[in-house]
Amino acid sequence: MQLKAQAPKITRHPFRLLLRLRLALFGHEELFGIVFWATLIGIAGALASIAFRAGIRLCIRIFSGYWTQAQHGSGLVPIAVRLAWWHRAIIPVVGGLLAGAVLLLLRHRFVSSKAVDYIEAVNVGDGRIGFRASILKSLGSMLTIASGGSIGREGSMVQLAAMLGSRIGLLARAPVPRLRLMVACGVAAGIAAAYNAPISGALFASEIVLGSMAMEGFVPLVISSVISNATLHRVTHFTPVFFVPHVSVASNWELVFYLLLGVLLGHLAPPFLSLLDFSKSKFVKLKLPLYLQLALGGLGVGLISVFLPEVWGNGYSVVSSMLLGNLFGWTLLAILLAKVLATASTVGSGGVGGVLTPSLFIGSAVGTLFGGALQWLMPQVITQPVAFGVIGMGGFLAATTQAPLTSILMIFEMTVDYHVVLPLMLTCVTAYFTAKVYRHGNSVYTAALAHTIVAEQGDDWRVRTVEPLIKPVAVVVPRGTTLAEVFERLSRRSVRRVYVTDGDELVSWFRPRDIHERLQKGEINWDTHVETVAQPVNEALSPEMSLTEALDGFLREKARTLPVTPGQWRHTLMGEVSRDDVLLAIRDRLTVTK
């Protein structure tokens, strides 16, 4: 009779219906947390990219005075063409001086392990990226790009989005492996917003940053990337990065030429990366103050732009002209060589930015020249030389980043043309393997990363024990608490385990989902005390326990979370550790950086 009398009590508590719905939709707390935080990071990354674009437009207006063109995003090249030759020469110098002053302030005021690049934060750090340091680096990048520096803006967009992912992770009190994953979510959001390529954003973060395609990490990357792209389209009237013509392969014999293009690009990428390294070493040997060093790099760009203003900025408008067939022959060859030198001058002097966009520029130019030469030799066979320019972008990108899958999908997303897939796959894979012979698999990112590991942190950066993975327990209740009181506290969250304590000592635990099922069946009632339905603690971790020992404990208990206590004979509850976090940390330990 008592059980029947208690039944109507369930209907008087609407939160229990919400609990059932949450359990049915998400199953467990981790999935809800991943979806929520990845979505928030995606929105934040898109807004950061929009703000950075607006900052660049403002700086262009200040440097050049041509606000209308800058506002409508036509690029720096049309503005450079309209300026007097001396104006084109001096603006990059002024921008370099200002950017150097900002970066010098960063070096003097915020020198710490938190002023790191997003790849360092994930691979050789604890996932923490400093807010003020990232803002200053982005400001320096903004000044360099807006004054004509030959570098991509995607680097700073991704850095800002990754920094916001890190700060959101700290707000969520995420353990180190989860914090690194949230930084990678920011990277995915930044790439998606920079190139209007959500698939490529997730793959870039997975293939280059995390170095793993495991689904437990890939799912939140996809969420952040998609939400970022959707937010960008909702807030702004976003146009395609490049205006790409329709690509068609008239004959299967043309695939042989795309194979040869991949071999050519694979041979050209290593010298380009070596030129960047050479330029950096020469600027460092000058031992100039950073603001003079960047000004000297700007002077190099300015002098080149006196004769060829097309080297200014990221070159989006120039690439579009190539792909539309408006640039070809000796003029295009001169612009290509000038762009390579201008990029080496900007990057070598210490300019902050990305190398993905210059890689796309060079690949497009080489591909267009290659296609034009083939058409001159075989006009009856090659009918669309600009198609080689489209494919060349992906091939050179694959050779420089050593990420062929990301490169293939990025170009496919830009073209939205299925006919590009076959030649693109062939060229990207061929360029990747050709370049790998020279650089032994080291990309433009891994070389600097390996130096950071050896020079700064040795081999002690990876998580070794359980302690960095401990996170606060969601719900702890004392003995004597009724189930009705427990579920009142659970009304707004999904919790995998509830821990029962006697004073400060951990005595037992139970799964809310199991208890809820028993309540529905009438086996227990809402006035039951928690200690009568809880299970004893058979397995607890300690902070100094190694990752492999912790994993053994999870396997013995067949659990997804385990409590952490100070030691075998001390049972004060310190927190809990997730099995997923342990597995992520073990994966980090097994990752070998060449």
215 and 330: one domain? no
**69 confidence band (pLDDT: 50, 70, 90):** very low
Asked, for residue 14, whether it belongs to a domain, the answer is no
Say what the pLDDT of residue 2 is.
36
Asked, for residue 559, whether it belongs to a domain, the answer is yes
589 contact partners, CB below 8 Å, separation of at least 6: 462, 463, 464, 547
**Could you tell me the sign of the dihedral formed by the alpha carbons of 456, 458, 464, 465, in that order?**
negative
Other Cβ atoms closer than 10 A to 76: 32
**Domain CATH number, residue 315:** 1.10.3080.10
**221, pLDDT greater than 80:** yes
Choose from 75-84, 140-149, 494-503, 583-592 the range with maximum mean pLDDT: 140-149
Say what the pLDDT of residue 238 is.
65
**67, pLDDT greater than 70:** no
315 and 402: one domain? yes
Say what the pLDDT of residue 43 is.
94
401 and 480: one domain? no
450 and 506: one domain? no
Quick: pLDDT tens for 507-566: 888 888 888 888 888 888 888 888 888 888 888 888 878 878 888 888 888 888 888 887
User: Cα(367)–Cα(427) distance, rounded to whole angstroms?
Assistant: 11
190 contact partners, CB below 8 Å, separation of at least 6: 45, 48, 49, 154, 157, 158, 159, 160, 161, 162, 201, 228
Quick: pLDDT tens for 268-311: 998 998 898 899 888 888 888 888 999 999 999 999 989 998 89
User: Cα(116)–Cα(178) distance, rounded to whole angstroms?
Assistant: 18
Helix (H, G, I), strand (E, B) or coil at 564: strand
Q: Percent helix, strand and coil across the chain, each rounded to 5?
A: 70, 5, 25
**226 confidence band (pLDDT: 50, 70, 90):** very high
Of the ranges 47-61, 109-123, 239-253, 486-500, which one carries the lowest mean pLDDT score? Answer: 109-123
Number of domains in the chain: 3
Asked, for residue 573, whether it belongs to a domain, the answer is yes
At residue 481, φ and ψ (nearest 5 deg) are: -75, 135
The whole domain housing 476 covers 464-590
**108, pLDDT greater than 80:** no
% residues pLDDT > 70 (the chain): 81
Say what the pLDDT of residue 284 is.
85
Asked, for residue 477, whether it belongs to a domain, the answer is yes
Give the closest residue to 543 by CA, choosing from 467, 464, 472, 469.
Answer: 467
**342, pLDDT greater than 90:** yes
Average pLDDT over residues 383-408: 88
Asked, for residue 22, whether it belongs to a domain, the answer is no
447 and 491: one domain? no
CA dihedral angle for residue 316, residue 158, residue 407, residue 148, rounded to 10 degrees:
20
**467, pLDDT greater than 90:** no
Higher pLDDT, 187 or 175: 187
**594, pLDDT greater than 50:** no
> Strand pairing partners for 577?
562
Domain final residue pick, 433, 457, 481: 457
32 and 157: one domain? yes
Say what the pLDDT of residue 367 is.
93
Strand extents, DSSP E, 483-546: 498-502, 505-510, 535-536
**365, pLDDT greater than 90:** yes
Strand extents, DSSP E, 253-380: none
91 and 58: one domain? yes
65 contact partners, CB below 8 Å, separation of at least 6: none
Asked, for residue 182, whether it belongs to a domain, the answer is yes
448 and 482: one domain? no
User: Cα(208)–Cα(121) distance, rounded to whole angstroms?
Assistant: 13
**Residue for token pair 């898109």:** 46
266 and 373: one domain? yes
444 and 478: one domain? no
User: Cα(563)–Cα(577) distance, rounded to whole angstroms?
Assistant: 6
Asked, for residue 313, whether it belongs to a domain, the answer is yes
323 and 417: one domain? yes
User: Cα(322)–Cα(331) distance, rounded to whole angstroms?
Assistant: 11
151 and 207: one domain? yes
Of the ranges 10-14, 43-47, 411-415, which one carries the lowest mean pLDDT score? Answer: 10-14
**Domain CATH number, residue 506:** 3.10.580.10
Q: Calculate the average pLDDT of the chain.
A: 79
Asked, for residue 184, whether it belongs to a domain, the answer is yes
